[in-house]
């Protein structure tokens, strides 16, 4: 998911450089949404892993 966020960020930068502001704004918005989804999933899985490790040690 982080890979797709970076791809859309690169598309936004290239589109912005060529003056396609509508496409750049849309691609940047998609990249932002994907990045935040990635962060939420990462934190949830990190906490789940920590809790699972704690349960097996008890």
For 1-46, what is each residue's pLDDT tens digit?
789 989 999 999 999 999 999 999 999 999 999 999 999 999 999 9
Q: Which residues span the domain enclosing 34? A: 2-57
The 10 Å Cβ neighbour count of residue 32 is: 14
* Predicted pLDDT of residue 52: 84
CA dist 58 to 47, 48, 53, Å?
Answer: 17, 16, 9
The CA distance from 6 to 43, in Å, is 19
What is the total count of domains within the chain?
1
Residue 58 pLDDT > 80, yes or no? no
For 8-20, what is each residue's pLDDT tens digit?
999 999 999 999 9
Residue 57 pLDDT > 70, yes or no? no
């Amino acid at each position: 998911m982080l890979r797709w966020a970076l791809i859309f960020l690169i598309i936004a930068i290239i589109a912005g450089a060529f003056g396609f502001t509508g496409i750049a704004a849309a691609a940047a918005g998609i990249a932002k949404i994907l990045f935040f989804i990635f962060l939420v999933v990462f934190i949830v899985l990190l906490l789940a892993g920590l809790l699972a490790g704690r349960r097996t040690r008890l």
